[in-house]
Structures are given as C-alpha cells and as structure tokens.
Structure 1
Amino acid sequence: MAGILLVEDDPSVRTGLELALARQGHSITAFGTGEEALEHIRARRPEIVILDVMLPGIDGVEVCRRIRKLDSLPIILLTALGDDLDVVVGLEAGADDYVIKPVEPRVLDARIRAILRRMESASTDRITFGDLMIDRGALKVTLDGREVHLTPTELRLLLELVRHPGQVLNRRYLLRSVWDHTHVADSRLVDACVQRIRAKIEPTPGDPVYIHTVRGFGYRFSGP
C-alpha cells in the first residue's frame, strides 16, 4: 500500500505499530527521533509520515514545521489523550490529521487509506477564478502564474469547496467528504486546513477573497 515513515520514541509502541501496519501491506521505516526522521526524508521521500508529538530532542511539532519547509507530503500526528493544545499547534504547523494514543491500528490504517484516496483523486478540467487556476487533472494550483504547493489534504479541501461555488459547506460535511471523519469534535481539522490554504492563496489571509467564513455554519468559496 504505502511507504510510511514512522517516528515514535517508545520502542514497544514503535514495534507494535510497525508489525500492525506491515500486516496491512504497508512498507514501514521507523525511527525514534526527529533528527533521524528529517535526515531520512532528505535522502528518501516517504509517501506518508506518522509522527509522535512527544519526541526527545526536536519534538514532533518542530519536525512537522521543518518537513513543511521541504515538502507537502502527508503527516499524521500521534498525540496523547487530552493534549488538545498539541493537536491545535500540530495542525497549525501543517499536519493533515491526528490519532489519539494509545493507537488503535485499525483506526490508524483507516486514516492512512483515507489519505491515499485523497492523493489519488483527480478530475480532468481546469477552473479559473481571477488569478487562481486549479487544474484538477494535473492536481496543480497556480496563483498569478506561480505554482502554489498544497498538501494532498489542502488540495482535496480546496477542490471540495470549488465544486460548490457560492454554497456554504458546513464543517461536518467537509470532515466526511475530505477526511472521512464523522466526529464533529474534529472540526478543528477543517479550520486549521482552511487557515493554511488561505495563507497560500489569499492576497490578504485575514481578509479572504476566495474562501469566506460563514459564522455558525462553515465555509463558502467564491471568486474575486
């Protein structure tokens, strides 16, 4: 299935996840520190990174930030139960999804497969809104002629919004259609992802032209 980089400092947890994910057909490379993971990514790019937040040395959030400076590859955070601040900071740093520890391998595998589906989804048309051009076939976004580098999740969310121009899409719908989530508490995934997209495509992210917030409901996409 996927070439996965697993970063987890607890040897027993790391070994357990390696075995469980390997049984699901994934190819796993595992490290116990963020430093080792970053070195590996520079040498050999994985398809997905599964990243523990609490790591010795460089913590998972900082590893996430550094990965985002290099690449848009998908990142799933492993975070302890109740560490909501870690989740929020990690999502703001560029993570695509998160799983609460102790990790249920079936849940983690489902999140991985959802990301793989997002990476494979494509269409065959180009859409232009002002200076923003979205090529659904090439899965490429350009702004004023310059390519905008979006993660697979950011791209999938943008495509979902663009499919319904002028319509308000609530967070529950977006969670289901983009992340395959059904739990409304995960709505911060949507908010953080919208913020990251705005930072990349909006001339003034605080005063958006393309993705508008409809308070109490969700988000609406419209051209300038």
Structure 2
Amino acid sequence: MKILVVEDDLHIQRLIRETLEADGHRVTATADGNEAAAWIDGQLFEAAVLDVMVPGRTGFELCTLLRANQEIPILMLTALGELTDKRDGFSAGADDYITKPFDPEELVFRLHAIARRYQKAAVPAIQFGDVTIDKRSQQLTIGTTRLTIPRREFELLHQLASFPGRVFSREELIEHVWGRDFMGDDRTVDVHIKRLRTRLHQTEAITIETVRGLGYRLEVKS
C-alpha cells in the first residue's frame, strides 16, 4: 500500500516508516500538516497514519480532508488517555487509534485489520453468521427470513456492517447515508438505529452498539 505518514517527532516518524517499509509498503512521510494537505490534494493514498498534533493542519483536519476525497484506512496516533482526541478523531472519520508509546508491530497489525474491513466493504454481499446484507438486492436476510427494509435503514446497516468495529459518529453516518445537504438533526440516526435493532433481535451474529459520547458501531459476535 501507498501510505501517508504525518508525525512531527522525527524519531517516531522514522520508526513508523522503517516498520511499514519492512512490511512491503511505500511510505510518504512529513512532519508538517500543511505539506500533507498539499499531498492529499494532489495524490492518492491507500492508507494514512496521522498524529493528532502536528504543525500546520492538525491530524483531525487532515483526516477530514482525506475522507472528503478518498475512502481509505486511517489510523490516528494520540497521547495516553486523551479521550477527547479519540472522540474528535472518530468524528473526523478515523478508523482506529493507537496510543503512544506503541509497539511498531501493533501499528502494522492494526492497519492490516482496518484494510481487511475495507476489502469486505467492496464485496456486494456481506455475511456474518446467519445474517446476509446484500447491496445488489437491497435485502437483509436473517436465517431463512428475507427482509426488504426501507432504503435509509438498509444503507445505514450496510455502512456499519462494511466496517465492523469502527465507531461512526452520528454526523458521519448522516453524511454517508443522507448526504451533506440533509436538513434534519442527528436524532434521525437514533430512530433508524432503534428500528434496525428491532429487526436484528432475531440473530445473535451481530449487534449495533452505542459508544457513549462517540456514536455507533457494529459488533460481530463470535
């Protein structure tokens, strides 16, 4: 993968670069958020590792820029215990966080895990146990029961199921499902989640979890 790395601690930046290159990836790295923003405007990346606080554009701003142009795995770096950073990062569209100090191999493992989610999202039909979410037919199948559900509900479920384990803020779900021009409020998401939970009560394969103060995520039960 071609990976963008934005980290202003040059020791950590070098460590990330060397670890990712050893794993077979191509790395474009910078310590400056403004330089990264210029690259995002002119290049396509396949993944990104962004430190939250860098000179120029912050990691949050860069994450938002990437999400506006590319649907790629984004892993953010944050200081220990910074819950506010995590909330803001998930709102900006981050897939996952890793806390400093970290084991470089863990960073690689997490990127691989996120990348697998994106590969799953590209598959027309998503399956978890007895649940199948088929984008082609816009149908939800639970066991032997096939359900045709309202379009917005289906799109909301498909978005969550495409990236199991990833936290989506209400604002992000509205943008993905209803579009940026939506004039309602985020309670619309809550209403649709409630309806989906009612439909999913027949299965134990997946659940839609509320992440307090952040949003929602789809959990796959083993």
- Tell me the TM-score normalized by structure 2: 0.67
Aligned to 2:49: 50
Paired with 1:64 and 1:100, the residues of 2 have a C-alpha distance of 17
Q: Are residue 157 (structure 1) and residue 156 (structure 2) matched? A: no
Tell me if the contact between 1:198 and 1:211 (Cα under 8 Å) persists in the aligned partners.
no
| 1:200 and 2:176 correspond | yes
Number of the residue aligned with 1:130: 150
Residues 78 and 55 of structure 1: CA distance in aligned 2, closer, same or farther (over 3 Å): same
Cα distance change on mapping 1:26 and 1:193 into 2, 3 Å:
farther
- Residue 210 of structure 1 aligns to a residue in which SS? helix
Deviation string for 1:130-179 (max 9, x for gaps)?
A: 23496xxxxxx6x9xxxxxxxxxx9662347xxxxxxxxxxxxxxxxx24
Is the Cα–Cα contact under 8 Å of residues 4 and 27 in structure 1 kept in the other structure? yes
| TM-align CA RMSD | 3.0
- From the superposition, tell whether residues 85 and 198 of structure 1 become closer, same or farther in structure 2 (CA, over 3 Å): same
Instruction: State the Cα deviation string for residues 50-76 of structure 1 (Å, max 9, x = none).
Output: 000010122111222222233332211
Give CA-to-partner distance per residue, 1:21-74, whole Å, 9 cap, x none.
111122111111111112112222110010000101221112222222333322
Q: What is the rounded CA distance, in whole Å, between the counterparts of 2:162 and 2:57 in structure 1?
A: 34
| SS of corresponding position for 1:82 | coil
Give the conservation status (yes or no) of the 8 Å contact 2:37–2:57.
no
How much does 1:194 deviate? 5.6
Would you say the 8 A contact 2:117–2:162 is kept in 1?
no
**Residue ranges of structure 2 left out of the alignment (5+ in a row):** 126-133, 139-148, 198-207, 211-215
Q: Which runs of 5+ in 1 are unaligned?
A: 135-140, 144-153, 161-177, 180-188
Partner of 2:99: helix, strand, or coil? strand
- Counterpart of 2:79? 80
TM-score (norm 1): 0.66
Q: Is the 8 A contact 2:34 2:57 kept in 1?
A: yes
**Aligned partners of 1:218, 1:113: CA distance in 2, in Å?**
23
Of 209, 217, 220, the match for 1:218: 209
The CA distance in 2 between the partners of 1:130 and 1:88, in whole Å, is 30
Identity of matched residues, % = 33
Q: Distance in 1 between matches of 2:34 and 2:158?
A: 28
Residues 26 and 76 (structure 1), Cα distance of their counterparts in 2 relative to 1, 3 Å cut: same
Report how far residue 4 of structure 1 moved: 0.8
